[in-house]
Structure 1
Amino acid sequence: MTSCRALFISAPSSGSGKTCVTAAIARSQVRRGRRVRVFKTGPDFLDPSILERASGAPVYQLDLFMGGFAHCQALLAQAAREADLILIEGVMGLFDGKPSGADLAAAFGLPVVCVIDASAMAQTFAALATGLARFRPDVRHYGVIANRVGGQAHARMVAEGLPGELPLIAALPREPRLILPERHLGLVQALEQPGLDAQLDAWADTWDAALLPNFVFEPQTIEDAIETAPAPLLAGRRIAIARDAAFGFIYAANVDTLRALGAELAFFSPLKHEPLPACDAVWLPGGYPELYADRLAAHPTLAAALAAHVARGKPLLAECGGMLALLDELTDAAGDAHPMAGLLPGRAHVQQRLAALGLQAINWPEGPLRGHSYHYSTLDTPMTPIATATNPNGGKTAEALYQQGSLRASYVHHYFPSNPEAIAAFFKG
């Protein structure tokens, strides 16, 4: 057993301010010299990029479907051994999804604080907070945070009627200058925000000023657990990984898994027109190729280098945006068509509304994997899938897996720790 202060930060809905509050607390504590580890509940690439900048440490996913209980327990145990404070940001509303944030908090006995947007309510705030706290007896609530309050009088009104066991921890003011920019998939990536560090400091200042007296982070008992390392099945193999603003959707746990398997990793930036590194395999993760299509198309060597790589029978995994970059053509949300690498037959179109969203389970030829899908584009291709994913919640999202020689592509963002051996078997070729 390890004792570590911990807090699970949730909300009644998306858009309540969970990420801002989590980042503000993290930066506030880091400025005090404390070691902070932050987790994000469920699949997400954008919030973790902000939280990583705020905490100064990689942000990992805690997902009972993608990773499983033992994997999540090992991640929490490792963080408890290294940190003074663990913060877990929830996903959507506290009880939304299967598994939900509440399921995760209950599974590990984590104290929950809900962030509630108080901008359009007064005394009803207490009713909403009390209902959230009493909905499930197995979820332990530690307090509530009022976000976007209009002043001290408003803060007093939202606190009226809160039961003694559910204190108001902080009342954060409504400040438009603290709002993060967003686009169709969510928050703008941290690496695309040059003023982010100053904004994080402003958030931390606001949190410090709004925090009510006598609040303390409660120590939690975290079960000791160590995940068994996979065999070094990729020892001696070098994997090239695209990583920049166009290909930024990379789970930290995926990188760890590849290294644990013994692979040497070589990161490169297609946006900077860096050449494909000498390698045995390539991974093109998801991201925003539609925002940088002209720059990608202007890369003087990448398309030919990837084509030669596949012609030699070397593995190439392309996920979501990585797959779009390999098509014949990609039409962006403005309706402009861009030629892409031409390694996969087909065309994609980025539309204004969401095309697919959901957790995914898919059977690769090498074994089953888990992951998720979230995209605004649609694909028109003559390729026949070699497998089709299923949604554990019965949703309609069921992504195809395509294979062209040694090139494998899908809209699925795969979570490598769900089956390291299958990942190794593919990348080994």
Structure 2
Amino acid sequence: MGAAVNTPARCAALLVAAPASGQGKTTVAAALARLHARAGRKVRAFKVGPDFLDPCWLEAATGAPVHALDLWMVGEGGCAAALHAAAADCDLLVIEGAMGLFDGSPSAADLAQRFGIPVLAVIDASSMAGTFGALVFGLRHYRADMPWAGVLANRVASPRHRDMLREGLREPGDWLGSLPRSADWALPERHLGLVADLPASEVMARIDAAADALSATPLAALPLERWAVEFPAPDAVDALPPLLAGRRIAVAHDASFAFVYRANVDTLEALGASVAFFSPLAGEALPACDAVWLPGGYPELYPQQLAAATATRDSLAAHIDAGKPVWAECGGMMALMDEICDMEGRSHPGWGLLPGVTRMHRRLAAIGPQQLALDAGTLRGHTFHYSTAASPLPVVARTARPDAAAAHDAGEAVYAHEGVRASYFHAWFASCPGAIAALLGGRT
């Protein structure tokens, strides 16, 4: 039975971090979660910062929704509430960091220190020996009072290599084991990050293989109580006003429109809306609805299927012609435009419901936290895309970075056409429920 809402909750917790991206955090976090879930323990996973892809692997490992923890986007109160609720009902919380431990503002280190969560450092040791020890020492001692669990060496070449790494540690107790490089559990990647739409059987095979390897490490043998954290009860919050009561929101959701935070759906429902999912890739028409949310994803990977989705396109056109609202984020906006040019320069037709062209590039066009000031309030969120858009549509607003030093950054355009608002901006709905309700035609 979980702890009462107004009492602290105690649970084992680890924050899986690294000195940089690409070290194997997702592999280790998913393997750790799966290892304990297979043993019958109740495990929940979280992801630090904005991310739609890594959580898919963590969700497969735990069988439970994976929510974001970000001290700015989600807010300290939102993070506290999510951690407390999960800790009250679980044996282990596995939190995957973002980028390097100290990267970003706020960083994974900030979250670890705010909530006292021990850090498990994962380091790709494939091209180092003695320097491994210096790196571990730096991660642990760069800041005073860093909650610390230890280090796991990843992609280790041999038993001799493993021994060299362990012997180089200043503090032998930091060693929690190693994993060799293996194609059995390597996670495939493409632009934007990890591939998250593999067959479920392949996903689980890779996670289970990694969990099997992790089971032979000292990390797996240690009792969970070693990393117990007490999560204080969060401040009470008022229920959301029913700004979307009686409204039905249609949400595109498939491999092409996969960038959906479960917490955003929860916010819509907490505002009183009913949510109906539909699949453009399956050629489904809009369900009966009052408003539409077209999330981001990978429309550039499915241009033929989307062009053939005439029922989707025609029902969206009728919805727009009727003046009903549409909120289109990133990939959702791309699909609405006249044309998508892929990375090879080939042109593919979009749905032609917004004038404009989007072009894919081989380098990131924009990344980072953003906020959107609207009449009903300011939404927090982020941007992350490889394409750029050119459209004659009026720009009715622009996002801004949260730091004042970035005032020169023009931010992401918000285009307007009839009831459509479209942007590369990914919104975190709970940051300003009144603003998202207004975008979707609710009461303000």
TM-score band w.r.t. shorter chain: over 0.9
**1:41: how far off?**
0.3
Does residue 373 of the first structure (1) align with residue 395 of the second (2)?
no
1:356 pairs with 362, 366, 379, which one? 366
Cα distance in 1, alignment partners of residues 342 and 201 from structure 2: 25
Cα distance in 1, alignment partners of residues 417 and 220 from structure 2: 61
Cα distance in 2, alignment partners of residues 231 and 412 from structure 1: 25
Query: Contact 1:42 / 1:61 at 8 angstroms: preserved in 2?
Result: yes
* Corresponding residue of 1:220: 229
Amino-acid identity (%): 53
Q: Which moved more, 1:174-183 or 1:210-219?
A: 210-219
* Corresponding residue of 1:300: 310
Does residue 413 of the first structure (1) align with residue 422 of the second (2)?
no
* Corresponding residue of 2:416: 403
Q: 1:404 to 1:169 in 2, by over 3 A?
A: same
Cα distance in 1, alignment partners of residues 317 and 376 from structure 2: 23
Cα distance in 2, alignment partners of residues 362 and 241 from structure 1: 21
**Secondary structure in structure 2 of the residue aligned to 1:133:** helix
Query: Contact 1:326 / 1:340 at 8 angstroms: preserved in 2?
Result: yes
Cα distance in 2, alignment partners of residues 4 and 232 from structure 1: 34
CA displacement, residues 108-163 of structure 1 (integer Å, 9 cap, x when unaligned):
11111110111111121111100110000132111111111112221111111424
**1:227: how far off?**
4.2
Query: Contact 1:357 / 1:397 at 8 angstroms: preserved in 2?
Result: no
Does residue 270 of the first structure (1) align with residue 280 of the second (2)?
yes
Q: 1:212 to 1:153 in 2, by over 3 A?
A: farther
Cα distance in 2, alignment partners of residues 367 and 4 from structure 1: 36
Does residue 389 of the first structure (1) align with residue 396 of the second (2)?
no
**Secondary structure in structure 2 of the residue aligned to 1:390:** coil
Does residue 5 of the first structure (1) align with residue 15 of the second (2)?
no
Cα distance in 1, alignment partners of residues 84 and 47 from structure 2: 15
Query: Contact 1:123 / 1:157 at 8 angstroms: preserved in 2?
Result: yes
Q: 1:257 to 1:191 in 2, by over 3 A?
A: farther
Q: 1:356 to 1:391 in 2, by over 3 A?
A: same
- Aligned residue pairs total 429
Does residue 324 of the first structure (1) align with residue 334 of the second (2)?
yes
Q: 1:78 to 1:7 in 2, by over 3 A?
A: same
Cα distance in 1, alignment partners of residues 51 and 173 from structure 2: 29
Does residue 133 of the first structure (1) align with residue 111 of the second (2)?
no
Query: Contact 2:214 / 2:220 at 8 angstroms: preserved in 1?
Result: no
2:110 pairs with 94, 103, 106, which one? 103
Query: Contact 1:8 / 1:88 at 8 angstroms: preserved in 2?
Result: yes
**Secondary structure in structure 2 of the residue aligned to 1:119:** coil
* Corresponding residue of 1:428: 441
> What pairs with 1:241-260 in structure 2 (closer than 5 Å)?
241-260=251-270
* Corresponding residue of 2:39: 32
**1:210: how far off?**
2.7
CA displacement, residues 260-293 of structure 1 (integer Å, 9 cap, x when unaligned):
1111110011101111101011000000000001
Q: 1:227 to 1:50 in 2, by over 3 A?
A: farther
Opposite residue 278 of structure 2, the aligned amino acid is F
**1:21: how far off?**
0.1
Cα distance in 2, alignment partners of residues 336 and 203 from structure 1: 39
**1:428: how far off?**
2.9
1:240 pairs with 238, 250, 271, which one? 250
Cα distance in 2, alignment partners of residues 254 and 338 from structure 1: 30
Cα distance in 1, alignment partners of residues 198 and 254 from structure 2: 8
**1:312: how far off?**
1.4
Query: Contact 2:365 / 2:387 at 8 angstroms: preserved in 1?
Result: yes
* Corresponding residue of 2:196: 189
Q: 1:280 to 1:191 in 2, by over 3 A?
A: farther
**1:366: how far off?**
2.4
Q: 1:341 to 1:155 in 2, by over 3 A?
A: same
* Corresponding residue of 2:72: 65
Q: 1:182 to 1:340 in 2, by over 3 A?
A: same
Query: Contact 1:149 / 1:174 at 8 angstroms: preserved in 2?
Result: yes
**Secondary structure in structure 2 of the residue aligned to 1:195:** helix
**1:212: how far off?**
5.0
* Corresponding residue of 2:299: 289
**1:382: how far off?**
1.1
Cα distance in 2, alignment partners of residues 29 and 53 from structure 1: 13
**Secondary structure in structure 1 of the residue aligned to 2:104:** coil
* Corresponding residue of 1:310: 320
Q: Which moved more, 1:130-139 or 1:284-293?
A: 130-139
**1:191: how far off?**
4.9
> What pairs with 1:36-185 in structure 2 (closer than 5 Å)?
36-164=43-171, 166-185=173-192
CA displacement, residues 74-119 of structure 1 (integer Å, 9 cap, x when unaligned):
0111111121110110000000111111111111111111101111
Cα distance in 1, alignment partners of residues 59 and 410 from structure 2: 29
TM-score, length-scaled by structure 1: 0.97
Query: Contact 2:166 / 2:172 at 8 angstroms: preserved in 1?
Result: no
Opposite residue 196 of structure 2, the aligned amino acid is Q
Q: 1:51 to 1:243 in 2, by over 3 A?
A: same
